[in-house]
Amino acid sequence: MLYAVIKALLSGVVIAAASEAAKRSPAIGAVILSLPLISILAFFGCGGTPPIRERLRLSQSTFWFVLPTLPMFLVLPALLRNGAGFWPALGLSCLVTLLLYAAMAWTLGKLGISL
């Protein structure tokens, strides 16, 4: 339980640091957010040391599901540039991401790649 609280607090610190850094420089905030810090924390498991096989599967699954998130960072600014409000643009971007997640899961299943 303590380990879960520590991970949650550390995750919050990373988000707060990125938000504060982004106020000064969007590029620095983006670099902080793009670091795989949360993934690295997950590799340590829930207080114990998970077997290598679990870390391998988590790492591979993370790779495959990062790909469908990338278009969000193109769709959101495109919508905002074209006059969409922030919340509708964010909602549509999240919907696109969810559809791409489903497409990725379906495609991986068809390719025989288990997650």
Q: What is the C-alpha to C-alpha distance for residues 5 and 3, in angstroms, rounded to an integer?
A: 5
- Which stretches within 25-85 are classed as H helix? 26-34, 37-43, 52-66, 72-81
Domain tally for the chain? 2
Same domain, residue pair 69 and 26: no
Same domain, residue pair 10 and 57: no
Residue where a domain stops, chosen among 11, 33, 50: 50
How much is the average pLDDT of 87-114?
94
Kindly indicate the confidence band of residue 110, based on its pLDDT and cuts at 50, 70 and 90.
Answer: very high
Same domain, residue pair 84 and 109: yes
Residue 35 is given by DSSP the state S
The answer to whether the beta carbons of residues 66 and 60 sit under 8 Å apart is no
What pLDDT, on a 0 to 100 scale, did the predictor assign at position 66?
Answer: 92
Same domain, residue pair 42 and 81: no
12: its two tokens? 């919050």
Query: pLDDT by residue (tens digit) across 19-74?
Result: 899 899 989 888 888 888 777 777 776 455 667 778 888 888 889 999 999 999 99
Choose between 18 and 99: higher pLDDT.
99
Residue 33, amino acid? L
Query: Cβ of 97: how many Cβ atoms within 10 Å?
Result: 19
Give the domain extent around 44.
1-50
Same domain, residue pair 32 and 63: no
Same domain, residue pair 63 and 104: yes
Same domain, residue pair 3 and 46: yes
What pLDDT, on a 0 to 100 scale, did the predictor assign at position 50?
Answer: 61
What pLDDT, on a 0 to 100 scale, did the predictor assign at position 45?
Answer: 66
Number of H helices, E strands in the chain: 6, 0
Single pTM value for the model: 0.75
**Distance between first and last Cα of the chain:** 26
**pLDDT exceeds cutoff 90 at 13:** no
Same domain, residue pair 58 and 44: no
Same domain, residue pair 115 and 65: yes
Same domain, residue pair 44 and 60: no
What pLDDT, on a 0 to 100 scale, did the predictor assign at position 42?
Answer: 76
Same domain, residue pair 30 and 65: no
Closest alpha carbon to 62 in 87, 36, 88: 36
Kindly indicate the confidence band of residue 77, based on its pLDDT and cuts at 50, 70 and 90.
Answer: very high
